[in-house]
A and B are shown apart, each in its own frame.
Chain A
């Protein structure tokens, strides 16, 4: 299969689907009758001002996102990079949300402008965080990730409290391509042209990034400025697409990956074929949706559905993609000064956990505002708080441990238990359950969550067994599962079904539903897992040095990776059942431990677990008290607290 043949097939599919969709809108393929119809005829208007611009917008947006994807992946040297990696979409959504809630007057100037401004602010933030390191790819990816999480968590908190008011925004967030006139086409086409010309000018310098950093510099390329220009272009077109039609996932990641798989090896080839294929892919999905969703009572938005349908395709592609991978990715880790006495550091953190636990159990508001400790009966305060504090602490420990292991095994700073897809699998199980069962009980939720996480784990093993659990491929698998989950979540939110309230609260990571029995059960799992992980620290010290080194000192790669992966999956599933799939403690805690100078495997595990517990207990308490009696889920608060500190540290390295 060559890229040309691939696109040829896609063109045929698009033409076939377009004919079918056209027939269902126009009531026949009679073009002549339509042209002869009067201007005010509704069928003619539907074709000329809705169907046709929608097709063109799908093509243009698909091309733009794919182009942005190629630029991102090339500049960041990471095949997992997507147009949204640097936080553009999350920033845009957050800006729109704030405008809708607090300054609706601004919306008169159009949603596009606000979305674009929000995207710009988040990208400036990301660049500022990574500027001191010369916009080094892995620092950029980290900064983008944390900005994404930060705005995502803040947005979810507002959505949780204002679901009714934000319904329109949810429809936008799910990427609906519906058009009423040609305004979006006229907005996007010039921007796509500008981006394409810019990419054409940069292509020769960008191709040098395939060499390693030193060689590129020796050939006279100014890396920071090249990165700034290339990422600027990618962000510009992404923000434009997001502003016009909302969030459309998957295309920007998948189109470049698929054409590369089809044999587009050089950057020039990928820059030519990926946008073409991206355009066709999005148009194909949108047309298919038009044909399928005749008389539905809920919206089936194209953007989110593309991602949901694309995920299985991506899963099928992954084993094939990795084989066709181009030059190896240089691993430049950020040097951090080691702490001389890791045990003192960990002891300090543990003392912090103890203090925070006492505060979380005894201090809090009651019906008459802040109550001094012990003034209210234990049955009305502590009895409710104890399971939650225990669960929050244990979940923090489990996720931090899982995160440390997966980051050390993969050597990828983006790795976290959430990114592995296990918690997304749990989330998929639970969302599906709330969709089909009106009011599921606690045990049904636990069962569905466990089934989902086991399903995700099975998928991970089946797909990655042949590649000996090669880390990059593993993460790509996990990200595909996350795509599916994220997409389903967006579809559900856009549907504005009252059933989503409960699901939303759970997704954002609340300890609300925990009982003492479940908290103790998870704590037991936690102790067992730590006991299992401790002896494996030799693997964790050596695996980050790469597979050849590990093999040389006698470690069986497949066995060690599979054992550690299984452990991570169990840890994640247990924690996710308590605090939902979006806590991101598993991502933040290991990084915070490393930034604190805890470098060896055991020190990092110990430090990360203490930080995880501290962060989650504090987040749970703050979330319960700050808006009392409203509760902000612990997962969201943890992301906001941990994220702020993370950004502060990131700026200084």
Chain B
């Protein structure tokens, strides 16, 4: 019997009671601050990363695209219940938008083609991470920080934006201090099906966070603009000195077939170092994802060191959601 990591139900990823309470506290505090000062701008966004950052700085948008998807894939922070669904991210509902009459609409470069259209309802701002860092020297971390600062200015909460950045940095430092000494380079993969994985490499927020924790990334090959590469398992065969991190959600059926998967079981990285598991992290644009990843990876690495690996070490022990 192979121990199963939390099976493919992203909806199961919910913050525990403590973060939830914290979220409410933040929200109430945010509302108080908001009403005490002048009325904060009413923002809507189609992008989950922007929604994440705004919510974390206490300026939750009044409308977000595909909220159900946000709940399943972006573990936190939770959107306030007053935030409205505005439709598909690529096609926000124009009638509803003009009825909500927001002060500003926030999009990423990906949706820039619709900027003119959306501008008929409210002024549009583009806050982007992945197109701005492009091929230049600045990395995804710097662009994310810059994006958060820009959001702070737009939401008229510059102090909250700086606080979010500081909070994230101290969280990462705190988790870095917990890390075991001499950790192998990480190979962070998410299963697509039983033969393919998505690898998080250079240019992804997850890898950038790991880098700030002093953890090397074992994936040195090319990635897309979003810092991921979708590859068949045999492409991992050349990497021997690495610890594989399986990021959730694991699609149903993969766990059952992994024992018969000769490639996976013989991968040098799997044979030399037992893989570890962490729950899902939304890696596209939000600083809260960086703190979450730092906490999860530190937990998993500490666990891997203190506990003996399972007898059939080819598949990670389930790491309980903290």
Which residues of A line the B interface, CB within 8 A?
A: 25, 40-43, 45-46, 49-50, 100, 104-105, 107-108, 110-111, 160-162, 164-165, 167-168, 171-172, 176, 178-181, 183, 295-299, 364, 366-367, 376, 379-381, 384-385, 438-442, 445, 494-499, 501-502, 504-505, 510, 512-513, 515, 628-631
Contacts and interface: CB of A to CB of B under 8 A. Distances in A.
Q: Which 6 A-B pairs have the closest CB atoms?
A: A439-B112, A629-B93, A297-B229, A49-B262, A168-B193, A439-B113
B260 A183 contact: yes
Interface string B265-306: 011100100000000000010000000000000000000000
Contacts of A384: 94-95, 98
Contact of B98 (A110, A164, A181, A380): A380
A438 B109 contact: yes
Interface stretch (B139-147, B160-168, B231-239): B231-239
B212 interface: no
Nearest to B284: A498
Looking at A165, A176, A510, A630, which has the most chain B CB atoms within 10 Å of its CB?
A: A630
A510 B91 CA distance: 10
Nearest to A627: B87
Contact of A178 (B72, B84, B232, B256): B232
B195 A495 contact: no
B232 A107 contact: no
Given A40-B271, A438-B109, A367 B88 contact: no
B81 interface: no
Contacts of B222: 295-297
B99 A376 contact: yes
B241 interface: no
A628 B86 CA distance: 9
A167 B260 CA distance: 23
A404 to B, nearest CB: 31
B8 A104 contact: yes
Interface string B84-117: 1111111111111011100000000111111111
Contacts of A496: 192, 198, 230
Looking at A40, A104, A110, which has the most chain B CB atoms within 10 Å of its CB?
A: A104
B237 A501 contact: no
A110 to B, nearest CB: 7
B251 interface: yes
Contact of B113 (A41, A165, A364, A502): A502
Interface of B: 7-10, 66, 69, 72-73, 84-96, 98-100, 109-117, 131, 191-196, 198, 221-224, 226, 228-234, 237, 251-253, 256, 260-264, 266-268, 271, 284
B232 A176 contact: yes
B233 A178 contact: yes
A367 B232 contact: no
Given A297-B228, A299-B230, A495-B230, A176 B195 contact: yes
Contacts of A629: 85-87, 92-93, 95-96
6 contacts: A41-B266, A168-B193, A176-B195, A299-B230, A439-B109, A630-B87
A505 B253 contact: no
B266 A502 contact: no
B110 A45 contact: no
A178 B193 CA distance: 11
Contacts of A501: 88-90, 110
A630 B63 CA distance: 13
Contact of A631 (B87, B98, B232, B261): B87
Contacts of A497: 224, 226
Contact of A299 (B96, B110, B196, B234): B196
Contact of A504 (B72, B90, B224, B232): B90
A349 B63 CA distance: 40
Contacts of A438: 109-110, 112, 131
The prevalent SS among residues of B at the interface is: mixed
B263 A513 contact: no
A110 B222 CA distance: 32
Contact of A105 (B86, B226, B252): B252
A364 B93 CA distance: 12
A171 B196 CA distance: 8
Contacts of B229: 296-298
A40 B267 CA distance: 9
A167 B198 CA distance: 10
Given A181-B262, A504-B90, 16 more contacts: A49-B263, A104-B7, A164-B69, A179-B195, A180-B233, A296-B229, A297-B224, A299-B196, A367-B84, A439-B110, A440-B113, A445-B113, A494-B230, A502-B110, A629-B85, A629-B92
B260 A181 contact: yes
A628 B99 CA distance: 14
Contacts of B93: 628-631
B192 A441 contact: no
B253 A108 contact: yes
Contacts of B9: 104
B263 A46 contact: yes
A496 B198 CA distance: 10
B76 to A, nearest CB: 17
Given A168-B251, A180-B261, A498-B110, A108 B256 contact: yes
B108 to A, nearest CB: 9
Nearest to A381: B95
B224 A298 contact: yes
A515 B117 CA distance: 9
Nearest to B195: A178
A348 B110 CA distance: 46
A469 to B, nearest CB: 38
Contacts of A376: 99
Given A299-B231, A498-B226, A366 B98 contact: no
Given A176-B195, A176-B196, A297-B223, A45 B256 contact: no
B98 A379 contact: yes
A484 to B, nearest CB: 22
Contact of A441 (B8, B98, B113): B113
A378 B199 CA distance: 49
A373 to B, nearest CB: 14
A515 B100 CA distance: 21
Looking at B66, B72, B99, which has the most chain A CB atoms within 10 Å of its CB?
A: B99
B90 A295 contact: no
Contacts of B260: 180-181, 183
B262 A297 contact: no
A500 to B, nearest CB: 9
A499 B110 contact: yes
Nearest to B126: A439
A171 B267 CA distance: 22
B232 A364 contact: no
A366 B94 CA distance: 11
Nearest to B130: A498
A631 B115 CA distance: 19
A442 B73 CA distance: 31
B253 A107 contact: yes
B312 to A, nearest CB: 15
Nearest to B226: A498
A2 B69 CA distance: 56
A439 B224 CA distance: 17
B260 to A, nearest CB: 6
B177 to A, nearest CB: 34
A495 B192 CA distance: 11
A298 B268 CA distance: 23
Contacts of B84: 367
A435 to B, nearest CB: 12
Looking at B8, B88, B195, B229, which has the most chain A CB atoms within 10 Å of its CB?
A: B88
B284 to A, nearest CB: 8
Given A104-B9, A380-B99, A180 B88 contact: no
Contacts of A46: 234, 237, 263
A167 B84 CA distance: 26
Contact of A42 (B10, B96, B194, B266): B266
A380 B232 CA distance: 49
Contacts of B263: 45-46, 49-50, 180
